[in-house]
Structure formats: C-alpha cells, structure tokens
C-alpha cells in the first residue's frame, strides 16, 4: 500500500524514531511502512494519522498495487 508517511513526517520535522515512539513501534517498523515492505494494522495506521492530524485516506493511498493483498493471497487469487 502506498503512503505519504515520509512526506508528513518530514513536514512535522520528525525522525522515524520519534514517530515510532509516538505510535509505539520501532524506527525499523516506520522505515518498513514508508518503504512499503510492511502494511500496518488498521490501528497503527489510525495512530499514525492522529499524529499528523490527517484522515487515513490522505496518508495511506488505497489503490491497486503490484503486490497482491493478503486477502487475495489467502483466497488463492493470482
């Protein structure tokens, strides 16, 4: 899932570590979310959006990606 976390984080002058501390995850987790290696839970996404005071659809871009979703994988969709 594409996201604008890095853009908002830099606007608020936060490091990955600082954002992680605010939402209760590691710097590495924030890095993995920013680089689209990891999709956060809905609760973590909500907490990140609260820090930026932005709606979830402004921070996380829900569009088709080249990676199949976990739901598609579990249903065997190719």
For the chain, domain boundaries? 2-75
Domain 2-75 top-level CATH class: mainly alpha
| Sole residue written with tokens 């954002």 | 19
The pTM of the full predicted model, rounded to 2 decimals, is 0.79
Confidence of residue 2 (pLDDT cuts 50, 70, 90): very high
Is 51 within 8 Å of 23 (Cβ atoms)? yes
Per-residue model confidence (pLDDT) at position 1: 86
Give the pLDDT confidence of 29-53 residue by residue, as tens digits. Answer: 999 999 999 999 999 999 999 999 9
Spell out the long-range contacts of 71-77 with Cβ–Cβ below 8 A and sequence spacing 24 or more. none
């Amino acid at each position: 899932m594409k996201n604008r976390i890095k853009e908002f984080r830099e606007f608020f002058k936060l490091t990955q570590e600082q954002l992680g501390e605010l939402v209760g995850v590691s710097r590495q987790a924030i890095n993995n979310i920013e680089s689209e290696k990891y999709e956060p839970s809905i609760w973590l996404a909500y907490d990140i959006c609260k820090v930026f005071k932005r709606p979830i659809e402004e921070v996380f871009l829900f569009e088709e990606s080249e990676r199949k979703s976990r739901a598609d994988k579990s249903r065997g969709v190719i």
